[in-house]
C-alpha cells in the first residue's frame, strides 16, 4: 500500500515530457485544426515547461497565424488579384463584368504574436531553413501587394547564406545550396505573379541580389529580362538580358521563348527571326516548334 501510494504521488508530480506535449499537440491539431479551442491552453502549458522547445514555438506560430486570418469574397475591378484568377465573374446591371476574389484579412495583433514565436524559433535554430521560409511566406501573405518586409527578409537571408555558408537543414533533413537557390527562384516567381508595382520591384531586387553573388546564373538573368519586358515595357533591355543568359546556356528555353516575345513586341523582325530559329531547335513542345516554323515562313 505504501509503495502504491508513493507511485501515485510520484505520477501526480511527474512533468510531462516535450515529446508527450508534441504528441498531444499533433493529436489535437489533427482533430480540431491548428487553431482549435484547446490548442492555446496546451501551448501555454508546453511553453511554461519548455520555453525553448522549437516544436512548441512552431505550434504557437501555427495557432496564431491560423487564428489571425479571415477570408471573404470581394469584388475587384481587375482581371487578377495577387496572381490569382477570379473565383466568380458576373455581369452587373449595366452588363459590365465584375470579378470576385477570395481576400484574406489579418488581425495585426495576433499576426504579431505569431511572428514573435517564429522569430524566437529562428534565433534558437538559425540554420533551420524551414523556419526562415515560414517567415518569408507569412510576410508575403500578410503584406499582399506591398511585400516590403518580405523582400527585406529575403535579402537578409541571401546575404546570410552567402556570408556564412550555413549547413542548412529543413527540419531534420539536410538542405543543399541548390535547393536554397531553387527556393529563392520560387519566391521570385511568387512576387512576379502578384504583379503589383511594388512586388515587381521586389522581384527585380531579389534577382539582382542573387546575381551579385552569381553573375552568370541564367535563371536570374532571365528574371531581370522579364522585369524589363513586363514592368517597364523596355524590350531592348530585356533582349540584352536574354542574350546574356543564352551566352551562358545557348539552349535555355525560357530565354529563347521570352526573346521571341520581346523581339516581337519591339518590332524587331530580324531579332524575332533569330529567336524563332532557336525556338524551332530547342523547344520541347512539337506544336510550339511547328508554330515557330509557320511564323518564320510568314515573315519571309
Whether 246 has a pLDDT exceeding 80, the answer reads: yes
Question: What confidence category does residue 6 fall into, taking pLDDT thresholds of 50, 70 and 90?
Answer: very low
Q: CA of 135: how far to CAs of 110, 112, 138, 166, in Å? A: 15, 12, 5, 18
173 dihedral zone (left: phi>0; alpha: psi -120 to 50; beta): beta
Question: Average pLDDT in the 238-267 region?
Answer: 97
Crossing angle of helices 235-248/253-266, nearest 10°?
Answer: 160
Task: Tell me if 31 is assigned to some domain.
Answer: yes
Domain that holds residue 58: 18-68
Given 55, 90, 106, the domain boundary residue is 106
> pLDDT (tens digit, 9 = 90+) per residue, 138-183?
999 999 999 999 999 999 999 999 999 999 999 999 999 999 999 9
Q: Which of 4-18, 51-65, 208-222 has the lowest mean pLDDT?
A: 4-18
Query: 100 forms bridges with which residues in the sheet?
Result: 75, 88
94 contacts 27 by C-beta, under 8 angstroms: no
Task: Tell me if 160 is assigned to some domain.
Answer: no
C-alpha cell at 52: 525553448
* Statement to judge: residues 64 and 99 lie in one domain: no
Question: Average pLDDT in the 276-287 region?
Answer: 96
Mean of all residue pLDDT scores within the chain: 93
Whether 13 has a pLDDT exceeding 50, the answer reads: no
Residue keyed to cell 532571365: 222
Question: What confidence category does residue 241 fall into, taking pLDDT thresholds of 50, 70 and 90?
Answer: very high
183 contacts 133 by C-beta, under 8 angstroms: yes
* Statement to judge: residues 34 and 51 lie in one domain: yes
- Say what the pLDDT of residue 12 is: 40
* Statement to judge: residues 63 and 92 lie in one domain: no
Crossing angle of helices 235-248/218-230, nearest 10°?
Answer: 170
Whether 4 has a pLDDT exceeding 70, the answer reads: no
Residue keyed to cell 540584352: 240
Whether 91 has a pLDDT exceeding 90, the answer reads: no
Q: What are phi and psi of 76, to 5 degrees?
A: -140, 145
- Say what the pLDDT of residue 11 is: 43
Sheet containing strand 88-91, strands side by side: 69-76, 97-106, 88-91
Task: Tell me if 87 is assigned to some domain.
Answer: yes
* Statement to judge: residues 90 and 55 lie in one domain: no
How many whole angstroms separate alpha carbon 85 and alpha carbon 91? 16
Task: Tell me if 96 is assigned to some domain.
Answer: yes
Whether 7 has a pLDDT exceeding 60, the answer reads: no
Task: Tell me if 151 is assigned to some domain.
Answer: no
Residue keyed to cell 529580362: 225
Residue keyed to cell 505550434: 59
208 contacts 227 by C-beta, under 8 angstroms: no
> pLDDT (tens digit, 9 = 90+) per residue, 101-136?
999 999 999 999 999 999 999 999 999 999 999 999
Task: Tell me if 55 is assigned to some domain.
Answer: yes
- Say what the pLDDT of residue 94 is: 84
- Say what the pLDDT of residue 8 is: 45
- CA torsion sign for 185, 186, 187, 192 is positive
How many whole angstroms separate alpha carbon 50 and alpha carbon 5? 29
- Say what the pLDDT of residue 2 is: 54
Task: Tell me if 90 is assigned to some domain.
Answer: yes
Task: Tell me if 60 is assigned to some domain.
Answer: yes
Long-range Cβ contacts of 153-156 (<8 Å, 24+ apart)? 154/184, 154/187, 154/206, 154/209, 155/205, 155/206, 155/209
Number of domains the chain is built from:
2
Strand (E) or helix (H) holding 128:
none
Return the SS3 of 15.
Answer: coil
Residue 210, Cβ density class (10 Å: 0-12 exposed, 13-18 middle, ≥19 buried)? buried
> pLDDT (tens digit, 9 = 90+) per residue, 23-48?
999 999 999 999 998 999 999 999 99
Amino acid at each position: 500500500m505504501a509503495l502504491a501510494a508513493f507511485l501515485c504521488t510520484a505520477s501526480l508530480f511527474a512533468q510531462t515530457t516535450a515529446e508527450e506535449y508534441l504528441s498531444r499537440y499533433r493529436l489535437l491539431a489533427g482533430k480540431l485544426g491548428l487553431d482549435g479551442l484547446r490548442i492555446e491552453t496546451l501551448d501555454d502549458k508546453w511553453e511554461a515547461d519548455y520555453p525553448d522547445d522549437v516544436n512548441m514555438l512552431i505550434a504557437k506560430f501555427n495557432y496564431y497565424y491560423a487564428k489571425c486570418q479571415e477570408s471573404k469574397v470581394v469584388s475587384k475591378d481587375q482581371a487578377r488579384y495577387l496572381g490569382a484568377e477570379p473565383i466568380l465573374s458576373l455581369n452587373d446591371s449595366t452588363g459590365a463584368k465584375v470579378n470576385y476574389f477570395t481576400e484574406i484579412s489579418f488581425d495585426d495583433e495576433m499576426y504579431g504574436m505569431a511572428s514573435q514565436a517564429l522569430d524566437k524559433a529562428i534565433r534558437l535554430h538559425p540554420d533551420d531553413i524551414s523556419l526562415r521560409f515560414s517567415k518569408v511566406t507569412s510576410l508575403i501573405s500578410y503584406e499582399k501587394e506591398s511585400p516590403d518586409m518580405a523582400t527585406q527578409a529575403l535579402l537578409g537571408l541571401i546575404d546570410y547564406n552567402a556570408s556564412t555558408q550555413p549547413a542548412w537543414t529543413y527540419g531534420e533533413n539536410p538542405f543543399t545550396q541548390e535547393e536554397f537557390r531553387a527556393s529563392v527562384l520560387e519566391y521570385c516567381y511568387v512576387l512576379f505573379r502578384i504583379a503589383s508595382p511594388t512586388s515587381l520591384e521586389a522581384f527585380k531586387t531579389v534577382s539582382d541580389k542573387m546575381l551579385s553573388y552569381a553573375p552568370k546564373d541564367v535563371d536570374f538573368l532571365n528574371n531581370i529580362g522579364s522585369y524589363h519586358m513586363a514592368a517597364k515595357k523596355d524590350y531592348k533591355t530585356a533582349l540584352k538580358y536574354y542574350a546574356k543568359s543564352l551566352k551562358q546556356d545557348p539552349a535555355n528555353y525560357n530565354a529563347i521563348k521570352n526573346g521571341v516575345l520581346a523581339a516581337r513586341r519591339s518590332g524587331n523582325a530580324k531579332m524575332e527571326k533569330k529567336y524563332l530559329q532557336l525556338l524551332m531547335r530547342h523547344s520541347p513542345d512539337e506544336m510550339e516548334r511547328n508554330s515557330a516554323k509557320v511564323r518564320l515562313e510568314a515573315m519571309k
